Amino acid sequence: MADLLIKAEGETDPDYGTFPDERPIEDHIKRGIVNLDKPSGPTSHEIDSWVKRILGVEKTGHGGTLDPKVTGVLPIGIDYATRVIQMLLGADKEYVCLMHLHEAISKAEIREILKEFQGKIFQTPPLKSAVKREMRVRNIYYVNILEIDGQDVLFKIGCEGGTYIRKYCHDIGEALGIGAHMAELRRTKSGPFTEDETLTTLQDLTDAYHIWKEEGDESFLRDCILPMELAVKHLPKIIIRDSAVDAVCHGADLAAGGIVSLDDKIKENDTVAIMTLKGELVAAGESLKTSKEIYKANKGIVIDIKKVFMEPGTYPKMWK
């Protein structure tokens, strides 16, 4: 866990911006993310359009496509949060996979090969993929075998974003010389989104929306829709002064003088989330310096802003 380095004193004006948990319900929806439990059958894009129709919103977008038969964690961004959800594409993922081996083999050999398929592995994306088919390196952080039943192997895998589990199973079968395929797959984690109490079904969302519209009770909808700030929970943070917010909203890079505090583990070239003192997401950028260098700097650009999420004018203009 990163600690916070306090660079300067800072106070926030209650007249501007809003604490994410205190947004009015309409704004909460437009800047919200649903930690959706995707059922087997529909495509990720179909789930998007259903959520859009259920909530009557203009835009929806998902973080990390799941194949139609795959179930589990599919974060869906609403309206303003559709761009924020893109921050999850490279985030770490976790799956529970049922792999079927094409011939019988000893449990010891299965355990041994799964040990070998950890750490850095090489993968070529499958024919049916949305990316260019070229060899790339992916990190496999852990593989925990849950059960071996004959030729069926149930395991939990933690991996870098962009890892193809179907291809992973195929490559294990090739390495064993007996062939294997992915029989079932469920995603249990996508960045900070997991199978916790926030996981929501389409039916939950539909019911919560109707309770709000028909009975005026927004509590269930607030449980189903989370603030968009959760989508950057896995990123290091830099907290900025109220006076620096509008300049960043207009696309200005972040200078050292605008910073109040920062995570102590930022490395050069890291993607960082820029936050207000109220905890609102302003932007994301690439760090030009380490935490220690930013902490010591009194002037100069320290963050190259890449994406802006907050609308200009949310905080007053205090720059020339």
- Out of 67, 204, 207, 264, the active site residue is 67
| Annotation marks residue 67 as catalytic | yes
CA distance 33 to 80: 10
CA distance 173 to 180: 4
Catalytic positions: 67
